[in-house]
A and B are shown apart, each in its own frame.
Chain A
């Protein structure tokens, strides 16, 4: 299915917001005793990304979503930081490509 450019732009910009959210969560976790809830929120973001990436034409984001969901379940903060960097790099790259058109 071919989507309109605007639809994709909107989608990717929302992901940028999410990436910022994820960064915040990752910062908050070490200093917060109730961090299980924070992990659960990250897991939710990963779960959604897994569910919508391919639909918007980005199968790689679905894979990343799967990995983020898994790392959050395992409470693996290091892995989450690493995955979020990848996530940001991919999304910015997609945005650049899209804006070039």
Chain B
């Protein structure tokens, strides 16, 4: 049986490909055969009998190519030399070598020179097709990674990747971070939840001498007091029931690096005393041990609380406050630095559309207006979540108002809690246990506040720790995924 073309039954051509291939072989029969085979599958094919000519075209960018198939044994320039020359200016272009020499040494040499694959002659053309498809897939992943890298390089601040902002408040905080990065002074970062306190702490770490050491972060309000102590200081084997081995504490883990203690305002008083001692003496003792160990980590603290007020209320030790408050850095909430909203939104849009393989180019005018007018109670974190969601939901090339969360409408609903609405807290017909209602109510307020924990805890009249605990309960935590 002869088909007018290639055997369509075995090699369906559904997924037409528009990639461009260069095929190099001095065997014109094979050149003809391969170019016909790939053209029928939608590839753009350029053929060469001489590798030098192909090299010139690729190097001068006259030819934009996604993958190359080349014979190894060629009269003027061998396939191996061709690869070596290509690699001097392009490290990612996949090159598949074909050869009638089946020796392992040649295969190894080819791969070492930078060939993506090695196909033996006589060719099994479908096998070559698979190799080409794989190479192109790999190439697209590499291109995506390179794009992401470029994005981070492009948008950097103070040479740091992925830190965006141009408002005066943001610049002031970052400039201060830069200046203190080379000093040993104690730093405390103030700012609302999600405003970028950890970003500042990381910047201090990255810009200073400790850059090559670890950056270790812990949220003091998210961990129960007794566990926090062993997390920070570590313990010796047998220090308490369950201490089956020695455990390194975070102070030690962050050796030669930075330990970031977030929500320091929520630290219990006994631990505050211990922290003060560590900061003064630069030594720690693991729980259950008598021996002191020197610590070299730089400690950076942060809080959303007004520590001065906490001192007045007796919740925070005054001596620790003075010890920490040598250089305070204040990161303003997003609503007070509106100039940052659009640059941040554009950055997150690029980032998430690359990550999700979505071809989203920007925002509509209305979406921009909306972004600028929202309160962003959960600050940059909330904005980041909103843009990620919009990228996933958007059906067009431009994110529109409808793709953005309905934050203002939701806050109106809270004012009218009594009226049953489709997405209101609960309907009149629903009978719930008190416990379930409690959980639902916490979820509701948390969502209404754009996942800002501080505001939620405040409105509910509970402390942040209780809120964290409630949010960690399995039934409640699903709200975080919405």
A interface, CB within 8 angstroms of B: 1-5, 7, 10-11, 14, 44, 47-48, 50-56, 59, 62, 101
Contacts and interface: CB of A to CB of B under 8 A. Distances in A.
A1 B30 contact: no
Given A1-B10, A1-B125, A1-B126, A51 B3 contact: no
B7 interface: yes
B33 A55 contact: yes
B2 interface: yes
Contact of A4 (B2, B10, B11, B124): B2
Contacts of B125: 1, 55
Contacts of B121: 50-52, 55
**Majority SS of interface residues in chain B?**
loop
A2 B7 contact: yes
Nearest to A46: B100
B7 A1 contact: yes
Given A1-B126, A2-B7, A10-B32, A51 B2 contact: no
Given A4-B2, A52-B122, A55-B33, 9 more contacts: A1-B125, A3-B6, A14-B29, A44-B75, A48-B27, A52-B27, A55-B122, A55-B124, A62-B122
Contacts, number: 67
A1 B125 CA distance: 8
B100 A51 contact: yes
B226 interface: no
Contact of B29 (A2, A11, A44, A50): A11
Contacts of A4: 2-6
Nearest to B99: A51
6 contacts: A2-B6, A10-B29, A14-B28, A44-B75, A52-B30, A55-B122
A14 B31 CA distance: 13
B123 interface: yes
Contacts of B122: 50-55, 59, 62
Interface in B118-132: 121-126
